[in-house]
Structures are given as C-alpha cells and as structure tokens.
C-alpha cells in the first residue's frame, strides 16, 4: 500500500499489490561513512518482513470479518429457538430480531474496518518514513559518487597541465646547456632538468621553480673567465672573456729599449680574443743596418703603372620634398588701474599655425599650404569674444612650359572653425563651420622670375560659395538666394605672392587675389589683399603686424552709426572690410 495525493485533501491509501511497489533491495557492498560500515541489506530485509506481516494481518482480518458476517445470524437464530417457548414465538417479532442481529453484525464489521484502516494508516506512515530515509540515503550515495568522479577529473586535468608545462620547460631549459663549458656540470644539470620536469613530476609552484632554473642556467651560460696580462714592466691588466662582451681593454707592450706599443683586446666570446695595435706607436731607437748602394735594388716602372682607375663621383640623392611648419602664439594686452585719463583694460590672444609641403622633381612642382588662425579678446566689463577665425588650404601643381612660365592647375578652400557673432548681439550667429565656405579651382599659367615672386593667371576659374546651415545662418548676406545652399561662379583669377627682406630681421610678405565673374557683372572685381610684416627680436620672439583688406560685391554688411555713445544699426550695404593686428608673440619653426 502506498499513498497518493489527490488534490489539496488528505492522503488516501492506494491499494496496489505490495510486491510491485516495494521491491527487495540487497546491497552487496556496504557503504562506508567515516570509519563505520553500514550494512544496508539487513535494513531492507527487515523492511520487507514488516510489509509481509502487514499483508498477512490484513488478509486474516478480512477473512474473519466475512466469516463472522455469515455465521452470527445462524448462531443467534438457533439460540433464540432453543430458549423461547412456543407460546412466546407468536408474541415476538421475528423480523425485529433479524434486523437487530444484522445491525450488530454491521457494527462489528465497521469497528473491524475502522481498526484495520487505523492500522493501515500507521503502517503507511511507517512505510513513508522508510521510503523517505531510503531516498535520502540514495541521494547522499549519488552525491558521494559525483564528488568522486569530479575529483578524478580534476586530478586528471591537473596532471595534463603539469605534464605539458614540464615538457615545455624541459625543452626551454635544455637550450641553455650547450653554452656551459664544463661537461660534468652540463651532464648534472641535464639530469636535474630531466628529473625535475619529468612527465609525472608535480611542483606546488612550477613558475617560481622555472624562473629560478632560468636564472641559474643563464648565469652559467654567460659566466666569464678572468685573467691578467703582464708586460715587461710588471704592469698587469685584468681582462674578462665573456659572451656578448662589447667593451675592450688596453695595455702597453714594451721592450728593453723602452719602445712601446699600445695593444687593445676585445672578447669575441668565451674562447676567442681579438687584439690590435693602436696608432700611437712609439719607437725610441730605430734599428740600423750597414749597407752599400749596390745592395739597393732599382727597378724602373713606366708611367702607365701609376694610372688611377676611374670611379664614379658619389652624388647626394636629390631632396624631393621641402617641408616647413611655423607656430606663432601672439598676445596683445593693455591694463589700466586708477588712470586719471581713462581707459579700459583688455587682452587679446591668438594662435597662428602655418604648414607647407612642396614637391619638386624635374619640371614638375607641387606646392601645398595650410593656415589656421584663431584669436579671442577680453575687454573690461565685456565677455570673451572671438576676433579671428580662419582655416585655409591651398594646393597647386605646375609644369615648366618655357622660361619662367609654367602650366598650372590648383585649388583653394577657405572656411572658419567656430561660430561668429556681430557684437554686441551675441545671440544670433552670423557664421560657423562650412557657413560660409569657399572652394575655388583654377587653370592657367604661372610666372616665377625669382623665388620671392609668383604670379598665377587663371583665365578659367570656378568658384563655389556654400552655406550648409541655412537655418541659423542668413545665406543672403554671402551672395546666395533664399533657399540656395551653394552658389557657383565662373570667372578669372589673378594671384600675386611676393616676399622680401626690408631690413635685417624685418620681413614683409604680400598676397593679392583678384577675381571677376564672367556671368554676373564682370566689371566688379573681388579683392583680397593680405600684408604681413615680421620684426624678429630673437630666435623665438617676434613682433607681427598684419592687415587684411577684402571687398566682395556679393557680401552684404550691416551699417552702424554712433548715436549718444552707442552703435546703432542704420541699414545694410556693400563695404570694404579691413582688419589690422599688432602683437608680440612666441614663434617656433620646424623644418
């Protein structure tokens, strides 16, 4: 009998054959727990005997209940017929007696069944406890088996790792053995390495042992041999013979006449010494030998014997690239404190970076130029403002046509890096990166009479003005129409560059760009003139004066007028743009 749970109610017995539900377990090998041995076969045999006795008890009780149910009515009927007279039979109710007998038998049967069920419940509880103990013991047994298998696998994995490490270490260490001189030491170390790093050897700290063995073999392999060299004046010079030794030692070899020669020694390896005589050879007494003119052989040789063979004169490889980088940090500052005549303190900082990379080979020249300028200004009672911002990239390729004239093709790109404002209004930007940006492509002729002057004439020049962000930037101020981001122009350009030295440490450079549009008012010429004057104080300090004049017929500028000490905007129009900077700065040039 076993219990089956049906829903949330109490357990009800499942009347199945006990032989099917409770098998007989016989464990031949006892289980070891600590130092005690538990014979589980006796335990399960006792359990089987208890279950068998319970089945026999239930069988006898069922048979006894059926027997009593069948015999008791007859017994009561015979007893009543023997004791009751004939006169009384008519007076008693036979049916009532039979009913009472049957009720008594039913009560006896119910009591027997209740007793049997109670015993069955007790026995089932006992069996359940035994099965629970059996499952717990089997779980412990399985856990012990899994632990044993896991320990075996870990041990096997550790063995394989140790074996592979020993094999690699043995191979590495035996590479140092040929460099050891003593055969006995070499053989002993070979045996030690083979024994320590055997496949079955195990070390608790293998890497520490390997590091110690490496140091030992390296010291033995690079061990040096010391000896001393003594000349005739008993001057001793110690010297060491060692592998990979780069230094040398010197000593003097002398004879009885005090003639000396300086000899140098250098160790090639532990078994070889390289020696040579120095150039400072001193001889006090020359060897003299008496001879006759006839003893001197004379041999006449023709002049053809002394001809020198022709050899090509080595020439230096031509320098194709000429590179230059110039870094300039400028500062302009004015400070006033309790100044009776009035004035505002201010400071201006700017960074100027110029880089060029020019290529020249034969009749081909390729010039590249990069220029980055950024400056800020801080005045008293005013916020930090940007006053300079420019990114310019130029590149030109030319080929010699005839004297001082070259065919040329080139281009330029100009924009700014950060947002710009029309102060004092610092809430709405008027420019930013790629708004505006100018890209220009030129094809024409170039005239270079000397290195300081270059005139580029391009009858075909394409100019593209772009304002990529038309949401923040008003593109109409740069010659673009409403809704237009890129404006193409086709025209001609003239570029003039001139550099000269006015005085000592005073350099001047000019760059003039003229552009006219063939398709729209060609008589209106755009002008961009940049003048730079450098006054050199020393190698790193310089004073710079820079002016820039720009006129572009397409650019609309705001017009201001001073009223009551304030700038008031009165309109917009086309004007000449002019910028002037005077500053002292730190200059560094890289070639």
44 vs 48, 123, 125, 137, CA distance in Å?
Answer: 6, 16, 17, 12
Per-residue confidence (pLDDT) for residue 170, from 0 to 100: 74
In whole angstroms, give the CA distance from residue 157 to residue 204.
15
Residue range 308-329, pLDDT digits in tens: 566 676 677 778 999 999 999 9
Burial (CB count <10 Å: 0-12, 13-18, 19+), residue 81 = exposed
User: Which of 33-37, 334-338, 483-487, 492-496 is the least confident region?
Assistant: 33-37
What's the gap between Cα 257 and its chain centre?
72
Contact (Cβ atoms closer than 8 angstroms) between residue 433 and residue 413: no
Q: Where are the domains of the chain?
A: 2-82+93-165, 175-221, 227-277, 321-335+344-590
Beta pairing, strands 346-361 & 321-334: antiparallel
Which helix (H) or strand (E) is 351 found in, with range? strand 346-361
In whole angstroms, give the CA distance from residue 182 to residue 187.
9
Instruction: Provide the pLDDT confidence category of residue 264 given band limits of 50, 70 and 90.
Output: confident
Mean pLDDT, residues 21-45 taken together = 45
In whole angstroms, give the CA distance from residue 520 to residue 379.
43
Per-residue confidence (pLDDT) for residue 541, from 0 to 100: 93
Instruction: Provide the pLDDT confidence category of residue 14 given band limits of 50, 70 and 90.
Output: very low
- Name the most confidently modeled range: 29-33, 123-127, 497-501: 497-501
The verdict on domain 321-335+344-590 having CATH code 2.40.230 is yes
In whole angstroms, give the CA distance from residue 19 to residue 42.
18
User: Which of 3-17, 195-209, 294-308 is the least confident region?
Assistant: 3-17
**pTM for the full model?**
0.48
Nearest residue to 328 (alpha-carbon basis) of 380, 384, 388: 388
What percentage of the chain carries pLDDT values higher than 90? 31
Nearest residue to 511 (alpha-carbon basis) of 534, 530, 532: 530
Q: Could you tell me which residue, 330 or 164, shows the higher pLDDT?
A: 330
Contact (Cβ atoms closer than 8 angstroms) between residue 13 and residue 1: yes
């Amino acid at each position: 009998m076993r219990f089956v749970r049906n829903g949330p109610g109490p357990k009800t017995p499942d009347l199945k054959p006990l032989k099917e539900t409770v098998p007989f377990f016989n464990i031949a090998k006892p289980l070891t727990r600590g130092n005690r041995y538990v014979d589980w076969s006796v335990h399960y045999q006792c359990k089987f005997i208890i279950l068998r006795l319970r089945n026999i008890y239930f069988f006898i009780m069922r048979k006894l209940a059926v027997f009593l149910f069948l015999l008791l009515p007859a017994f009561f009927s015979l007893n009543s017929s023997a004791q009751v007279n004939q006169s009384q039979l008519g007076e008693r109710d036979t049916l009532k007696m039979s009913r009472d007998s049957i009720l008594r038998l039913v009560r006896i049967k119910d009591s027997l069944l209740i007793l049997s069920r109670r015993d069955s419940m007790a026995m089932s509880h006992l069996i359940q406890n035994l099965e629970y103990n059996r499952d717990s013991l089997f779980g412990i047994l399985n856990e012990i088996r899994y632990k044993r298998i896991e320990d075996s696998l870990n041990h096997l994995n550790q063995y394989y790792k140790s074996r592979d490490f020993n094999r690699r270490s043995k191979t590495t260490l035996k590479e140092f053995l040929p460099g050891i001189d003593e055969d006995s030491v070499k053989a002993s170390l070979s045996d030690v390495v083979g024994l320590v790093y055997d496949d079955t050897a195990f070390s608790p700290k293998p890497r520490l042992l390997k590091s110690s063995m490496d140091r030992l073999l390296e010291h033995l392999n690079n061990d040096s041999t010391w000896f001393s060299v003594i000349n005739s004046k008993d001057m001793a010079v110690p010297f060491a013979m060692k592998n990979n030794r780069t230094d040398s030692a010197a000593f003097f070899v002398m004879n009885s006449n005090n003639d000396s020669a300086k000899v140098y020694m250098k160790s090639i390896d532990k078994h070889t010494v390289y020696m040579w005589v120095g150039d400072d050879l001193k001889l006090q007494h020359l060897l003299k030998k008496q001879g006759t003119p006839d003893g001197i052989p004379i041999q006449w040789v023709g002049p053809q014997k002394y001809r020198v063979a022709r050899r090509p004169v080595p020439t230096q490889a031509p320098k194709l690239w000429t590179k230059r980088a110039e870094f300039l940090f400028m500062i302009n500052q004015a400070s006033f404190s309790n100044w009776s005549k009035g004035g505002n303190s201010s400071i201006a900082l700017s960074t100027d970076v110029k880089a060029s990379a020019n290529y020249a080979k034969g009749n081909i020249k390729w010039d590249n130029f990069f220029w980055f300028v950024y400056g800020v200004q801080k005045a008293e009672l005013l916020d930090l403002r940007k006053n300079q911002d420019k990114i310019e990239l130029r590149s030109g390729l030319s080929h010699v046509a005839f004297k001082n004239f070259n065919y040329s093709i080139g281009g330029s790109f100009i924009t700014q890096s950060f947002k710009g404002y029309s102060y004092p209004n610092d809430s709405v930007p008027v420019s930013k990166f790629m708004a505006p940006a100018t890209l220009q492509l030129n094809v024409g002729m170039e005239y270079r009479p000397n290195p300081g002057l270059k005139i580029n004439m391009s009858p075909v020049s394409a100019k593209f003005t772009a304002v990529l962000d038309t949401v923040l930037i008003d593109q109409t101020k740069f010659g673009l129409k409403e809704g237009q981001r890129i404006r193409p122009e086709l025209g001609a350009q003239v570029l003039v560059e001139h550099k000269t030295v006015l005085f000592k440490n005073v350099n001047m450079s000019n760059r003039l760009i003229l552009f006219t549009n063939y398709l729209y008012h060609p008589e209106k010429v755009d002008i961009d003139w940049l003048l730079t004057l450098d006054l050199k104080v020393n190698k790193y300090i310089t004073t710079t004066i820079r002016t820039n004049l720009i006129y572009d017929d397409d650019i609309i500028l705001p017009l201001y007028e001073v009223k009551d000490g304030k700038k008031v905007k009165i309109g917009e129009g086309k004007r000449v743009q002019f910028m002037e900077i005077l500053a002292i700065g730190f200059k560094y040039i890289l070639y």
